[in-house]
Structure 1
Amino acid sequence: MCIAIPMKVVSVSDNFSAVCDSGEKTETVNTELTGLATPGEWLLVFQGASQRRMTEDEALKMRTALVALSDVMSGTATQSQLDDAFADITAHTGELPDFLKAQVKVNKQ
């Protein structure tokens, strides 16, 4: 499975790369798409290249969700872990987004 991973910038190598940490490994990341990186900031990284900058809150939530998915795949996830990792989904009321509400209204007419 190929997905982007949140990584924290550890150090800046040059104008086009930075050393980043995923929590599991450290690697040099190409930062040409996102520009000069700053140690301590978070980047969303896919196949060795930064795709966009992230807030720390967003990065940590994504990291928690990715760990939970890994545990699901290995069969070790607990319900409590899943509830914590996907609280934004499990707490959702199931309401349609506005653009779909409008489409339903049009279809009823």
Structure 2
Amino acid sequence: MAGAAPTPAVRDGASVGCPSNILAFLGTPPLPMTLGWELAGIVVNPGTSGFSVGERVFGMSHQLATGRGSWADLVAIPASSITQATTRRGARFHGMT
């Protein structure tokens, strides 16, 4: 991943399979497409996002709109779709919609 990417690249450490993924697949999305909504991982290329390399993040992909889900080892995802993960219990995350 040479140069500054407009969106951060995240090494996917965890992704969830749920019924909505099956429904999206059965709905005949445009192919090629990567399924997966949620992800948690570590930023490996922050691009111009403001995140740092090694920062733990989590968020949701826009797989139906972009064809890029979270079921991959490396995910390019808009910075507005992820937020910093925390180890604090009861933390509130502002800005996630």
> Normalised by the size of structure 1, how large is the TM-score?
0.25
Greater C-alpha Rg: 1
**Higher normalized contact order (CA 8 Å, seq sep 6+, divided by chain length):** 2
